Structures are given as C-alpha cells and as structure tokens.
Amino acid sequence: MNGNDCIKIKSSLYDYEVEFVKDFTDVLQGLGEKCVYVIDKNVYGLYKDQFTVVPEDRIYLMEPVESKKNMETVMEIIGFWSSLSVQKSWKVVCFGGGITQDVTTVAANLFLRNVDWFFFPTTLLSMCDSCIGGKCGINLGEVKNQLGVFYPPKKIFIDTHFINTLTHGDYLNGWGEILKFSLTNYADFYEELKSEKSYIPCDNIEYYVKRGLEVKKEVIEADEFESDYRRVLNYGHTFGHALEAYTHNEIPHGQGVIWGIDVANYIAYKEGLIDEAYYLEIKETIKTCFLTDEIVVDDPLRLFEMIKKDKKVRNDTLYFALLDGKSHLCVHPVKIGQKLENVFMDYLRSTNEYYNN
C-alpha cells in the first residue's frame, strides 16, 4: 500500500474499502487491462486529458440524467459489454455521481451473475454518502428508485480534486448529507462543521467526506439492509423529497434535505423530543452556512399532500427520523393528520418571521 487513508466497510457480501487517493490516474493503471468503463459524460469531457490511459472503445459514456437511470440504460450497457466479450474475470470501472453509480451497480450485478466493479465517485454526494452501503435505485417509468439491488463495489477510490468542477447546487447536494451525518452522531463533528470558514469551496472538504463516511459506515454496518436503524439516514429527507417534488426538482436534493432537517427539527421540538434552544441553534447554522435565503412555499397544502406519498408512511403514520437529543436521532412515529399539518403551517409562519427579522 502507498499509505493513503482508508476506511474499511464490513458487509455480509464481502468487506470492501474506501481509499483516498491523490491522483486517480495512478490507480487506473494498476487496475490492469481487462477493464470496461462506465463514465459520466460530463466528467469525461472535463477530465479527458486524464483518461488517456483508458481505451476509448471500452468506455460507455453515461448521460447523467434521471430519465436515463433505468433498465433500458442498464440493458444498453450490458449489450455493450457482451459485444466486447467481457468475461467474469474482467473489472467494471465506474466514474461519476449517484446516477452513474446506480446504473453501474445493477448492470455489474446482473451481467454474468455479477462482475467485480470499482467506483471513483466524482460528486461530493457520491463521495460522502452513496459510494458505500451497496444500495442502489433505478427508476421505473416516472417512479424514482423503484428497482434496485445490494451490490457494493469491490473498492472505492476517492480523489477529491473532482469536487473543484462541481456546480454550486451539486456542492450543496453533498453538504446536505454532511450536515445530516454531523447531526446523526458525534457532537464534535457538528461543532467543527458549524465553525468552518468557507463551505463552497471548502479547504477541509476531504476531512468532512471522511467523517461523513465514518458515520454512514457505523449505521450500515449495524443495519445493512435497512430493516430499522438505517432509517435514521432519512433524516431531513421526508420534507426534503416533498420540496423537490413540489418544485419539480428546481430545488436540488441537498437544499431540500437541509430545509427538511429544519422542518424535522421543528416537529421534534413540538413533539417534545428536543428543546427550542437546540432547534434554534441548528436553524441559525442552517441560515448562516447554507440557506441564507428563506425557502418560500406558496402552496403549503399541496406540499403537505406530497408527504403522504413518502415510502415511510404506513397506516397514516409517518416513521420519521427525528432528533431526540444532541446529535442523536431516533425513528419516531407521527400521525399524518390535522395536528401535523398545523405544526407544518406554524413552522412556515415562524420561519418567515425568523428570516425577515
């Protein structure tokens, strides 16, 4: 080994590791000749000079849009590998964010009843979050993430230089998850994040990626197949997803999650799980660091309707990831009804005052 930082992940399929690398091109050569590549089209365009060691006729260029995250694309990739007579001993090498990761996971899992795959995440979100856990979701028609398998990469290589070319929105998508992880466990992590000098760009981003992964590692090792505890990772995602859907994805995922964390904290405060001071303290961090402008919801009832479609609703009860103490989350049942609707309306009113005073 060359002494790079590593995080080891235990899984019932096989253990695997994340290695932080200084220059991904060094690793590429070490993977050998029998490789096929799935590369995010935009990433390939931006970093073409560094992919010169990769034979062009072995690359499937992935168009990274939700409408391509489906079985048609998976079959196209599999057809491409088949045309190259790829054998089980070959390696699949993937570069991209969560979209490219999700289709590659399914294709690598199905082809020849599974071929080993290696992942180089290129977005902040895929570095700090989706690259571990083995989970993936691909879309079925219009419905997001309806199909999926558990099939982790054999190894993940993180080169944080890729972050430099992300858009502000894609940077924020990663920060949404990092903020979530910092509140999931370890008060010191949140305190450090709160006092960071600059978030976009951030000189210490590799440190936050590592800490985020360490929190996720603990959760997935305790509950790999999301039977219960892993649901804490949905913190901020219930209202976050609803906001994304309500704005037809105009508000990016990360911004939705950060807002969803604030809504969830207000609900936790009203449920008596945390006190008002803690809710307000995190709210201040959110306003100062990430959401400097208020998110205005013109038609709150329409957004509230979307909550009912959340996957975590059973018998009109939402199994909500909420804080129940400092940097501690629980899965708390909340009935979807008039009371929750009133709490949500109160949240919007009080937040409007908060931002405008």
| Residues in contact with ligand NAD by the rule CB under 6 A | 40, 42-43, 46, 64, 66, 69, 96-102, 122-123, 125-126, 129-130, 133, 135-137, 145, 162, 165-166, 170, 173
| Residue carrying structure tokens 């060359």 | 2
Owner of token pair 């993430």: 145
Shortest distance (Å) from residue 136 CB to ligand NAD: 4
Q: How far is the CB of 166 from ligand NAD (least distance, A)?
A: 5
Task: In angstroms, give the least distance from the CB of 68 to ligand NAD.
Answer: 10
Q: How far is CA 291 from the centre of its chain?
A: 19
Tell me whether residue 52 or residue 165 sits nearer to ligand NAD (CB atom): 165
Residue nearest ligand NAD, Cβ-based: 98
Minimum CB–partner distance for residue 218 and ligand NAD (Å): 16
In whole angstroms, give the CA distance from residue 309 to residue 136: 20
Taking Cα atoms as reference points, which of 122, 120, 209, 160 lies closest to residue 22? Answer: 160
Classify strands 155-158 and 116-121 as parallel, antiparallel or unpaired: parallel
Measured from the CB atom, the residue of 60 and 162 that comes closer to ligand NAD is: 162
Dist. CA 116–CA 97, nearest whole Å: 19
Residue among 46 and 286 whose Cβ is closer to ligand NAD: 46
CB closer to ligand NAD out of 46 and 313: 46
Nearer CB in complex with ligand NAD: 145/204: 145
Beta bridge partners of 328: 325
Q: How far apart are CA 52 and CA 276, in angstroms?
A: 56
Q: Supply the minimum distance, in Å, between the C-beta of residue 310 and ligand NAD.
A: 15
Q: Which is nearer to ligand NAD, 61 or 343 (CB)?
A: 61
SS3 177: helix
Nearest approach, Cβ of 292 to ligand NAD (angstroms)?
A: 21
Q: Least distance in Å: CB of 34 to ligand NAD?
A: 26
Output the CA–CA distances (angstroms, integers) from residue 1 to 4, 21, 22, 30, in the order listed.
8, 11, 13, 12
Question: Token digits for 84?
Answer: 């190259």
Q: Supply 172's token pair.
A: 């924020």
Chain center to CA of 209: 12
We find the least distance from the C-beta atom of residue 19 to ligand NAD, in angstroms, to be 18
Identify which of residues 81 and 162 has a Cβ nearer to ligand NAD in the complex.
Answer: 162
**Backbone φ, ψ for residue 137 (5° rounding):** -145, 130
d(CA 113, CA 98) in angstroms, rounded, equals 22
Closer CB to ligand NAD, 44 or 111, in the complex: 44
